[in-house]
Amino acid sequence: MIKRPPKNDGNQNTGAVDSGQKRTNLSGLPVEICYSDHHLSDFDPARDLGAAGEYPFVRGVHKTMYREKLWTIRQLGSLDSPAKANERIRQLIDMGATGVSICLDLPTIMGRDSDDPLAEGEVGSCGGVAIDTLKDMRDLLAGIPLQEISINFVSNSQSAIILAMFAAVAQERGIPWEKLTGTMQNDILKEYQAQKSYYFPPRPSLRLTMDTIRFCNENMPRFNPISISGYHLASAGATPVQELAFTLANGFTYVEEGIKVGLPVDSFAPRLSFFFKAHNDFFENIAKLRAARRIWARAMRETYGAKNPRSWRLRAHIQTSGSSLTAQQAENNIIRVTLQALSAVLAGTQSLHTNAFDEAFAIPTPRSEKLALRTQQIIAHESGVANTVDPLAGSYYLEALTNEMEAECHRIFKEIYALGGVLSAIEKGYYQQAIADAAFRYQQEIETKRRIVVGLNAFIEDEKIEMQLREPEIDFEQKKVAELQQLKRSRDNQKVKGVLKEIRAVAQGTNSVMPTLIKAVRSYATLGEIIAVMREIYGEYREDAIY
């Protein structure tokens, strides 16, 4: 383990006079007035940095990085009905997006069909698309070249069913599964830690996640079955170093579970991917991803015995910080997003989503979404940062911060393992408490102006916030409910009953649920019906009031 760099005690010559004013980054780590080589006394560049594309991959996972191929420019393409979302996906592709992210509406996220009484008023909400049946998935992806465009499904508890629908649509269109590229978010552990859109207890939910990983391992070798997500942890209030540690600990848990179900580590580890947040501290964002790659590489090789260098490479998608955007002086968000996106590129991301500047108060409009996309294209083609690999390497500050974040990460690992590991720490409320405490401290810093947010607590202006709202589809919910109910009447309901019975049986056993789920969605069993059967088997999870 790399030792934490020694703190400046005032006796070392840094070439600058200390003003006496203490500064910290978002993780609460102290930032000194100036950095020099004494901060890297335990740092061996050959051992701890390496070359780009070589172990431990601190400088990037590919030798030439963006000189050979730019990161995937991935923007959000979903809202309202599957047909309308399909239009948006086509528009994004026409504007130059090379990947799209598909969010789900709130009822789908919570495992409910559009005609469920609990879904009333929420269908097509939360900037997501309503997916009840295979027909919806077919309409969503109509005409999209699935063998060319990378599709990212922002799905979690329902991931196995969404994956089954995606696989079924590809098969209908004669597209071999091995040609499909993209990602399923599918990180169930972070749901219990932060996002809370779970159905079942953690352990049966983890079983479903492992079934999807095993299915993709055997059938969809270019598709990432999971995106291990720190973004949601950070949005709930976790500091950058907590985001780093919690996310990697979750990743190690998935590796351990894969080994437990009999998968050789090198057979599935290369397709594990990660999802991090770019917040407002420019250098902390860069150090976080560099530290992540080093920690992952060393653990995969030394702890889990992976032999394939692809298993050692941590590949990441980064999204700029939606929670850092302000409704006040909303155009300031264009600058925030640009800086966050630039830090993600300098950190060596493989994929990037840039938020729209109006997201603090409205669903993004076509204008703001286009500006978010153009932000990435300007960084890629006009800034010069794609011309060389890891241009900030060797910065005393950046290398010291990378080392310090790694050391803090290992300290947090020890806390988690002392509680019995990730699942036990969830059940004991460790993450909930740690994230709540960090969120409270951050809010206090803003309210006391120890942390300045331009336009929010400083440089305030008297302004009227004018929202340009995206026009929703007229009577969309009523139409969606009517269409779903008609489909339920016209399908072979005896066949549906039979396949739901099969799902009950496989859920009670140990075989993979995926083949049965694909059969079920082909018979037009709905997402809500399938989840309801699983709820009967696994039960519903209720978090204890422990913090």
Looking at the predicted structure, is the pLDDT value of residue 547 above 80?
no
Residue 421 lies in a domain: yes
Helix (H, G, I), strand (E, B) or coil at 493: helix
Residue 19 lies in a domain: no
On whether both 205 and 128 belong to a single domain, the answer is yes
Q: How many domains does the chain have?
A: 2
DSSP string, 221-249: TTEESEEEESHHHHHHT--HHHHHHHHHH
The pLDDT assigned to 75 comes to: 77
Q: What is the pLDDT of residues 144-153, one digit of tens each?
A: 999 999 999 9
pLDDT class of 544 with cuts at 50, 70, 90: confident
Quick check: 481 and 123 in contact, CB under 8 A? yes
Residue 13 lies in a domain: no
On whether both 402 and 493 belong to a single domain, the answer is no
80 dihedral zone (left: phi>0; alpha: psi -120 to 50; beta):
left
| Cis peptide leading into residue 56 (ω within 30°) | yes
- Give the chain's mean pLDDT: 92
On whether both 526 and 423 belong to a single domain, the answer is no
On whether both 415 and 526 belong to a single domain, the answer is no
pLDDT class of 473 with cuts at 50, 70, 90: low
On whether both 488 and 443 belong to a single domain, the answer is no
The pLDDT assigned to 436 comes to: 96
The pLDDT assigned to 361 comes to: 85
On whether both 356 and 284 belong to a single domain, the answer is yes
Average pLDDT over every residue of 73-78: 76
On whether both 512 and 435 belong to a single domain, the answer is no
On whether both 437 and 489 belong to a single domain, the answer is no
Pick the closest to residue 23 from 363, 445, 474, 319 (CA basis).
445
- % of the chain residues with pLDDT over 90: 81
Sign, CA torsion 67/68/73/74:
negative
On whether both 436 and 521 belong to a single domain, the answer is no
Question: Encoding tokens for residue 113?
Answer: 């069909």
Average pLDDT over every residue of 110-134: 91
In this prediction the pTM is 0.92
Beta-bridge partners for 154: 103
Residue 240 lies in a domain: yes
Average pLDDT over every residue of 168-197: 96
Looking at the predicted structure, is the pLDDT value of residue 257 above 70?
yes
The range of the structural domain enclosing residue 514 comes to: 479-538
Tell me how far apart the alpha carbons of residues 252 and 149 are, in angstroms, rounded to a whole number: 29
Q: What is the pLDDT of residues 357-375, one digit of tens each?
A: 999 988 788 889 899 999 9
Beta-bridge partners for 102: 153
Distances (CA, A) of 543 to 128, 192, 303, 427, 453: 26, 8, 32, 8, 34
CATH code, domain with 344: 3.20.20.240
pLDDT class of 97 with cuts at 50, 70, 90: confident
Looking at the predicted structure, is the pLDDT value of residue 160 above 90?
yes
Looking at the predicted structure, is the pLDDT value of residue 434 above 60?
yes
The pLDDT assigned to 466 comes to: 72
Residue 56 lies in a domain: no
On whether both 298 and 229 belong to a single domain, the answer is yes
The pLDDT assigned to 12 comes to: 41
Residue 34 lies in a domain: no
Amino acid at 280: N
Quick check: 430 and 413 in contact, CB under 8 A? no
Tell me how far apart the alpha carbons of residues 19 and 457 are, in angstroms, rounded to a whole number: 24
Residue 168 lies in a domain: yes
Amino acid at 161: I
Tell me how far apart the alpha carbons of residues 401 and 104 are, in angstroms, rounded to a whole number: 37
Q: What is the pLDDT of residues 476-508, one digit of tens each?
A: 899 999 999 999 999 999 999 999 999 999 999
Looking at the predicted structure, is the pLDDT value of residue 264 above 90?
yes
Amino acid at 318: I
The pLDDT assigned to 236 comes to: 96
Q: Where a domain ends, among 403, 430, 447? A: 447
- String of b and e for 151-161 (b: at least 16 CB within 10 Å)? bbbbbbbbbbb
Q: H-helix or E-strand containing 285?
A: helix 282-298
Average pLDDT over every residue of 113-130: 89
Residue 231 lies in a domain: yes
The pLDDT assigned to 101 comes to: 87
Backbone angles phi and psi of 43, in degrees to 5: -95, 125
Q: What is the pLDDT of residues 304-317, one digit of tens each?
A: 999 999 999 999 99
For residue 335, the tally of other CB atoms under 10 A from its CB is 11
On whether both 438 and 484 belong to a single domain, the answer is no
Tell me how far apart the alpha carbons of residues 269 and 254 are, in angstroms, rounded to a whole number: 9
The pLDDT assigned to 291 comes to: 98
On whether both 412 and 524 belong to a single domain, the answer is no
Q: What is the pLDDT of residues 400-422, one digit of tens each?
A: 999 999 999 999 999 999 999 99
Amino acid at 487: L
Pick the closest to residue 39 from 410, 397, 406, 287 (CA basis).
397
The pLDDT assigned to 14 comes to: 40
Pick the closest to residue 207 from 184, 188, 180 (CA basis).
188
Average pLDDT over every residue of 55-80: 89
Looking at the predicted structure, is the pLDDT value of residue 2 above 80?
no
Quick check: 520 and 502 in contact, CB under 8 A? yes
